[in-house]
Amino acid sequence: MKKKDESGCSIFAFTAIFTFFVLIFNNLYTWGKILKFAEIENIADAILPITIFIGVYLLLFIFFTLIFYKITVKILSILIIFICGLCSYFISTYGIVIDRFMIANVFSTDFNEVIGLFSWKMIVYFVFLIFIPIIVITRVKVKSISISLRIRILLLALFLALVVILPNYVKLAAFFRKHNSLGGYFVPSNFISSSITYAKYIFKSKAKPILIDDAVITKNNDVLIVLVVGETARKKNFSLYGYSRKTNPLLEKEKITSLNATSCGTSTNVSVPCIFSPSAKSDFDHLKYENMISMLKRLNVKISWLENNFGGCYGLCDDVEKQYFNGSPDGIMLESFEGKLKNLSVYEDIIVLHQNGSHGPLYFQRYTENFNHFKPSCNRADVSKCKSQELFNAYDNTILYTDFFLHTIISKLKGVKKPVIMIYASDHGESLGEYGLFLHGFPYNLAPKEQKEIPFIIWANDSFEKKYYNLSKIDKNSQYSHDNIFHTTLGILNVKTKYYDKNLDIFKKN
């Protein structure tokens, strides 16, 4: 009689160990946050974090028990380990929160951006949190358990979870309400819930947007509007707004208007579509309505789009004349821009330039060597390992280069005879280590001002100011946002539609 093979690990034991590994090693950053927020001074203070650990462990164990079967356990556990390892790296390195918008960022990230994120720290994380665990998983033999035993285990785990959570519910709810960003740090619940939310969003995107079909141009205009969409430039580091370093030496010599403004989002894939949407930030849904570029194209406005951002134009430039660049410093677009100025129409023209700007973490690649003014600069992807001054030096050099870029655009526009206006606004700001955060993409309601306060700059030639609006009349004490760009553009072009809001038109509200 053949002896029954008793070697291997039961799926129950595998799930218990797997849950422990994920909860501990993939959430070290999260537990550090929890212990900091708990302010443990005595044994009694330790009860709350212990309760959180046990409660989260049991809930994760229940979830894994529901999806781990002999036929699925290997593939699912490997997939979870891989995603958890990546999430853990980016959370601990940059302090990011995983939400629906961060999932969207992943799908809109191109190869160049991925390459730019590699560092030695990432390799260490990959080896210890992904490669070694996957090797172990592939080699261990997992034995199945009976359905009845599985049900008993699930019921026991659920009972224990209720015993732990319910008596402490009020304290737990208050703690997580006070520190509401914690939910976005817990791996893997953060990417699972966010992926589900993103999937719902994608499903919704299949619906056709509502056309702005009542739009008409009531009076033709011989005007050129240049919209420069910046990338990751924060107001705080512009000397135009009082920054101590001279990061805008060229723009300070120009007759420009700089406004206090906030972004629609903290990531490019939110802010850029929002800029061209009739929806205000408060109810923004770029899938619901036709965008401004599409609408103006139907009204026979001549539109050109120069694209130098890794993320692309998010479908906004699909139906207009466009040119893509390779993400090099933005000066690569200037020759083509000058060519556009030689081929303007007799009526309305719009030229959009989408920068790579101050895109991190490889700030040092966003400017040419002759703009490496602030030294020494941070020249690595893992910016959290750079000295704070080095990081600021590299970032400030990107702003210095943007100053040159915008000044060059203005210089070329001075040669245009028709009325011209240039509007520059960054898509969002950037964190440079404040509050332990780096880069951007933090949930908007929780994000620090560094990620939301943006430079908003307007320049116009004399012809524009005589025929349309004198920029000196703009109320500089008001607060502006991306919401103003859609309505201001329509106002300049004399576009009549029910979606136009005079109160958001910078030139009509004053």
463-483 CB burial, b ≥16 within 10 A, e <16? bbbeebbebeebeeeeebbbb
Coil, helix or strand for 437? coil
Q: List, in sequence order, every beta strand (DSSP E) within 76-169.
A: 142-143
Do 197 and 266 lie in one domain? The reply is no
Q: What is the mean pLDDT of the chain?
A: 91
Are residues 100 and 163 located together in one domain of the fold? yes
- Quote the CA–CA distance of 84 and 108 in Å, as a whole number: 20
Same domain, yes or no: 275 and 196:
no
Render pLDDT for 330-358 as a digit per residue (tens, 0 to 9): 999 999 999 999 989 888 899 999 999 99
Which residue has tokens 């029954």? Answer: 4
* Number of other residues whose CB lies within 10 A of the CB of residue 191: 22
* CATH number assigned to the domain comprising residue 281: 3.40.720.10
Look-up of token digits 């019921």: 155
Q: Are residues 415 and 343 in the same domain?
A: yes
| Same domain, yes or no: 280 and 169 | no
pLDDT in tens, 207-260: 678 889 999 999 888 999 999 999 999 999 999 999 999 999 999 999 999 999
pTM of the complete model beyond 0.85? no
Give the integer Cα–Cα distance in Å for 483 and 478. 14
Q: Which helix (H) or strand (E) is 420 found in, with range?
A: strand 420-426
**Ramachandran area for residue 10 (φ above 0: left; ψ -120 to 50: alpha; else beta):** beta
Ranges of beta strands (E only) in 75-207 are 142-143
CA–CA separation, 365 and 358 (whole Å): 9
475 belongs to a structural domain: yes
Higher pLDDT, 100 or 139: 139
Strand runs (DSSP E) across 164-312, as ranges? 216-217, 224-230, 257-262, 302-307
Q: Is residue 63 part of a domain?
A: yes
Residue 431 included in any domain:
no
Q: Do 183 and 282 share a domain, yes or no? A: no
User: Are residue 221 and residue 357 in the same domain, yes or no?
Assistant: yes
Average pLDDT over residues 422-434: 97
CA dist 200 and 149 (Å) reads 35
CA distances from 454 to 188, 329, 408, 417 (A): 33, 20, 21, 30
Once rounded to an integer, what is the mean pLDDT over residues 122-143? 94
Residue 1 has pLDDT above 50, yes or no: no
CA separation (Å) from 159 to 47, 53, 170, 252?
19, 16, 19, 66
Q: What Rg, from alpha-carbon coordinates, does the chain have?
A: 27
> Dihedrals φ, ψ of 248, to 5°?
-130, 50
Measure the CA–CA gap between 225 and 408, rounded to whole angstroms. 16
- Report CA 509 to chain centroid distance, whole Å: 30
Residue 431 neighbours by CB under 8 Å, 6+ apart? 95, 437, 438, 439, 440, 442, 448, 450, 451
Residue 203 banded pLDDT, cuts 50, 70, 90: confident
> pLDDT by residue (tens digit) across 178-187?
887 788 888 9
Q: Please tell me whether residues 178 and 227 are part of one structural domain.
A: no
28 shares its domain with 159: yes
How many independent structural domains does the chain possess? 2
Q: Do the beta carbons of residue 35 and residue 179 sit within 8 Å?
A: no
What amino acid is encoded at 3 in this protein? K
> Is residue 397 in some structural domain?
no
* CA–CA gap between residue 55 and residue 158 (Å, rounded): 10
What digits encode the pLDDT tens for the residues 69-93?
A: 999 999 999 999 999 999 999 888 8
pLDDT of 101 > 80? The answer is: no
How much of the chain exceeds pLDDT 70, in percent?
Answer: 94
Whether residue 241 is contained in a domain is answered as no
Residues spanned by the domain of 152: 9-204
pLDDT of residue 12: 95
Claim to verify: residue 267 and residue 198 sit in the same structural domain: no
Establish if 491 belongs to a structural domain: yes
Same domain, 310 and 456: yes
* CB-based contact 374:245 (threshold 8 Å): yes
Those residues with Cβ within 8 angstroms of residue 101's Cβ, 6 or more apart along the chain or in another chain: 265, 266, 267, 269, 270, 441, 443
pLDDT above 80 for 201: no
At position 408, the amino acid (one-letter code) is T
Domain annotation covers residue 95? yes
- The verdict on 177 and 223 lying in the same domain is no
The contacts of residue 228 (CB under 8 Å, 6+ apart) are: 352, 353, 355, 406, 409, 422, 423, 424, 425
Within a domain: residue 109? yes
